[in-house]
Structure 1
């Protein structure tokens, strides 16, 4: 089997103000870095409202639809904006994540990378925030549980910022293990070790400024992988933010490009042992364009290596 790349041109239509770090150029850079790779390429469908309602209440959908502008841009919070194309892009981001689950569980591909925007791991139940409108990974995880009947799933979030939205959306979900490693102190200010979820299924791993790849590798092998193995998920999700890179302007960790490849290789190897290699990865942060492209390429190369290299 091979690796799917799921994206859509509509995700370029989410336009943020000049100088905003979560810019259209991010997705251009990622897709440029993935050109020519051995991937099964698919367009992300539009999610339907029922899918988004797996995690968000109707009031959240209604508020975003009411806020969506016909022209220009609206500001939802200090750093989250909507343009006329933003809502469609957000529906594609959810649709792509859900489609990835369907393709992996159908055996069409071994694993998948969903290259869409806006990202999702900061969106709480009724609060768009941190550049995010919907909780893409959390919704995909609930889709796997509710519609495919999986018993347990795990999410690893290695974005440099805490995945507060994923935590909020899955706080009461005993079937979903959520592990977030993130710099602290840093936006959004959540992610302390005592935040463990209603069933103790959430693990937050705050990282000190300057944490490098060597230390992160020890944390992955010593803490993150054993937690996943003990939980025995039937599918592994990755919130793939590349802003822990040493060159990223929004944070102060010190991972190198090759660290992201190694992390992905280790996660895929574990998935191969415990859940048939079923992995769905969704793009989150990463704001230095060259570092983002190189790190995403290293991540996807590891997915390809795990999934085989048969062209479709």
Structure 2
């Protein structure tokens, strides 16, 4: 194969190609259309055609919306955190007040030291869960503030249980103290006759006196020596105007010769409550109260009870 080139002066020049040169020249000529085709395919896909102004605006709008959503989520999270912080402070204040109340009640009740420990963290324990102990990965750990709230809730529940137990104990003790017969049945006056045999003031004979007599000013207060239920509140032969109170546990007391009754049948009375006014009704020589104590329906000497000072 030969190629003849002619310049502008009319001079010619001839080139001859061998087999290898022919092959290379043919390959180059064939590659030109392919390159032109590929160039034609790639040229229309320009960057300006994909990222145009409308796409940029849409992306900008989406980014602004996401920023607003992030700000709103951050604001809500801060509000919730503030609310949780306030709630946590409130729970801590409540726990402090409960502890203080429990300590005062424990001291006032004169309980054994260590029986109720309101200021200490509740003692807990138990075997470890084998599933957790043998796990290769650590179990889920909640956020710190959730742990604090959980601990406070447990402490408050524990304190409430202790206060409930203490309240029951104090109520039982208060009831026992109220039912405990002790003291004199008058607000003012003096003992004028003792329990046992004496000379009867009307017949002059030796007779049995089943109670104590307390003399005083006519119309002065007669008080209950213990809490109980009124089982008699009217006139009774020999006693005049009588009040009888059942104190439970087999005990009852009687208050006779009153001028006026301040309670009626079925009333619940407290220790020290005024139940009548001193008088001289019934078989009596002057203003006084005839006081009797019964144990299991048998009269006993009231002297041992009036000398009591309470439990």
Q: TM-score range by the shorter chain?
A: under 0.3
TM-score, length of structure 1 as denominator length: 0.20
Larger Rg: 2
TM-score, length of structure 2 as denominator length: 0.21
